[in-house]
Structure 1
């Protein structure tokens, strides 16, 4: 009887780890990120900062994988970039605009709420552009922040103006907005509804069913 009791105790000690109470489940947001990664879905749903550069790396990696496998462009799994962003860093914007524009693997942009400022410029770089019916767009010059000596500030302002001029040309090349209307509104905050975005070819079409993007 005593031996049986000892055997049961030993078995229980092995079957149930004493530190089981310290075990933690994976972070749900991290699990969702990897699910999205497997399906080539990127969410730009925050301010655009240097952290957003990770998305440029992902797009480059998927292009590399498709090229290594010799997958024809029209047979590649599309990359979907979902937007709900207030905008942000201009240099990061430029990197993503170039990366998406140069991507051989097709990139689909989906505005689910707001594509503002640099969020809108990045959206315009996508090869196919969809929008939810109530989503909005914001196009504007923004405001640069300058500091330092007089010469430093002058150089920074000139460089900022060059970047803004290039962005203006980029918007005109990706839409059918008349040049006079564009520059008249570009000076200020110019909000566009989904319907107006379709009229100006900022977006290609309004989504009527989630099946179109899922």
Structure 2
């Protein structure tokens, strides 16, 4: 006798997912949670472009990410600057590495964080391998990426480039209050209504 299949159909979860997606779209809210990858970058870019096409009203982006692939972070950073709708960037949990880079895509006046957010800035790292000539090429590219990241941080915080290069030499952790002082964040908020009061 065959045992009945008790696995719920996949469609059982789809209506709930669709409902949440629709609610998020209508509220013009986008979540960037988890490791930054090319798949995530494609998904975030698609959603940002759709929200921008839908309305010129502000988009709220909540970020909690340890970072990840630098060029994927670059893609999100550039799309955030490319679209016409204003974006409110809100850090929560932790915003590190490549996630800090995409966080800095919007003007400082629209960069916020929740009280317990921590930020991490540092230079890019790489797993160089292969022939010595390839390792040398990778090392040069990492140095270029380090300078580019430092220039972005300097531009968006008002810090001198020389100071930023020193600050990112090793991991630099900042609390919410320290991130405000450093210039990564304009203001610490606790409620969504505070975004509209800015």
TM-score range relative to shorter protein: 0.7 to 0.9
> Which consecutive segments of 4 or more residues in structure 1 shift more than 4 A?
none
Offset at residue 102 of structure 1 (A): 2.4
Which of 109, 116, 132 lines up with 2:96 in the alignment?
Answer: 116
Q: In the TM superposition, what are the counterparts of 1:164-175 in structure 2 within 5 Å?
A: 164-175=146-157
Task: Give the superposition deviation at 1:213.
Answer: 4.7
TM-aligned CA distance change 1:180 to 1:65, over 3 Å: same
**TM-score for both structures, normalised by structure 2:** 0.83
Q: Which residue number in structure 2 is paired with residue 8 of structure 1?
A: none
Per-residue CA deviations over 1:93-131 (Å, capped at 9, x if unaligned) read 111111112222111110112111111111111231011
Q: Tell me what 2:76 maps to.
A: 96
Residue 202 of structure 1, CA deviation: 0.7
In our comparison, the structure showing a higher alpha carbon Rg is 1
- Distance, in Å, in 2 between the alignment partners of 1:149 and 1:37 is 48
The residue number in structure 2 matching 1:14 is none
User: Take 2:15 and 2:195, find their aligned partners in 1: how far apart are those partners?
Assistant: 26
Give 1:47 deviation, angstroms.
0.5
Query: What is residue 143 of structure 1 aligned with on the other side?
Result: 125
Aligned residues: 185
Q: CA shift at 1:191, angstroms? A: 0.7
> Cα offset for 1:154?
2.0
Q: 2:23 maps to which residue? A: 35
Q: 1:86 to 1:62 in 2, by over 3 A?
A: same
Q: Tell me, yes or no, if structure 1 residue 181 matches structure 2 residue 163.
A: yes
Deviation of 1:212 after TM superposition, in Å, equals: 2.4
CA 1:29/1:157 → structure 2, altered by over 3 Å: closer, same or farther? farther
Given the alignment, which residue of 53, 60, 66 partners 1:86? 66
SS in 1 for 2:35: coil
TM-score (norm 1): 0.77
2:154 and 2:165 mapped to 1: Cα distance? 10
Q: What does the per-residue CA deviation read over 1:61-104, in whole Å, with 9 as the maximum and x for residues that have no partner? A: 333444xxxxxxxxx21111101100000110111111112222
Change (3 A) 1:180 1:166: closer
